[in-house]
Structure 1
Amino acid sequence: MPATDALSRTFAALADPTRRAMLAQLAAGPASVTDLAAPHAMSRPAISQHLKVLRDAGLVTQSAQAQWRTNALQPEPLDDASAWVAEQRAIWSTRFDRLDETLARLQAQDPMPDAVQEDDR
């Protein structure tokens, strides 16, 4: 089932190493399909399919001048993905801090018997 929300489309597009490499190329500036295809050992239709996924995710725009098509990076979806990751990191950091506090409190209340501690070493 294809991703329907913007964040899912962004992560789906980022899941492929070829597409990530294309985005890295485009971070240096706009590029033609030929320029984007150069470092990859794949057919032109395969490159075009990767670009379609990136365009559908809103990560790349394509403009045409005469017969030339130029692709450019659109970083806004990456900002949204980065914000989501930061939010998840904060949530899990808080949860792990609470777990550490709970474990420390439990260990202080009920230390393990000496025999068990020596077996674990």
Structure 2
Amino acid sequence: MSDEPGGAAEAVDTVLAALADPTRRQLLEVLAAKGEATATTLAEHLPVSRQAVVKHLAVLDAAGLVSGGRIGREVRYTVRPAALDATARWMASLAADWDRRLAHIKRVAEAAERDAQARPDKP
């Protein structure tokens, strides 16, 4: 993340912090499956109160993972995949970097092993 602009790094940090809580991950899964739902509807699928769901939704909203739109007296929430997509891209980039590093270590180790086998042993 060091080569990313500060805003992108902060966005990834915020998403990862929001997803660190298992209740929020479950809430996001339920909301993704339903497409759109109110806090009351979401609370029916979780072992927490409606007030707790509202607080969790506020964290997810601040991370850019959900958005709420008022329709009459209800606030209906939907998943916003852009922040999750950006975080997934960062994670894929990180994984690719590690794959390159590990491949380099493997090449160096294999070259050292070949060199050791090619040299005659000295008494």
The interval holding the TM-score normalised by the smaller chain is 0.7 to 0.9
**In structure 2, C-alpha distance between the alignment counterparts of 1:45 and 1:24, rounded to whole Å:** 19
Query: What is the RMSD of the two structures over their aligned residues, measured on CA atoms?
Result: 1.4
Query: 1:55 maps to which residue?
Result: 61
Question: Structure 1 stretch 30-39 or stretch 95-104: which is displaced more?
Answer: 30-39
**In structure 2, C-alpha distance between the alignment counterparts of 1:52 and 1:21, rounded to whole Å:** 15
SS in 1 for 2:27: helix
% identical aligned pairs: 35
Show structure 1 runs of 5+ residues with no match. 112-121
> TM-score normalised to the size of structure 2?
0.81
Shift of 1:35: 1.6
4+ residue runs over 2 A deviation: none
Query: 2:16 maps to which residue?
Result: 11
Measured against aligned partners, the alpha-carbon deviations of 1:49-77 in whole angstroms (never above 9, x if no partner) come to 11110010011111111211100111000
Question: Structure 1 stretch 88-97 or stretch 5-14: which is displaced more?
Answer: 5-14
Show structure 2 runs of 5+ residues with no match. 1-8, 118-123
Counterparts of 1:70-81 in structure 2, within 5 Å, are: 70-81=76-87
For residue 70 of structure 2, the aligned residue among 54, 64, 67 is 64
> TM-score normalised to the size of structure 1?
0.82
Instruction: Work out whether 1:86 is the aligned partner of 2:86.
Output: no
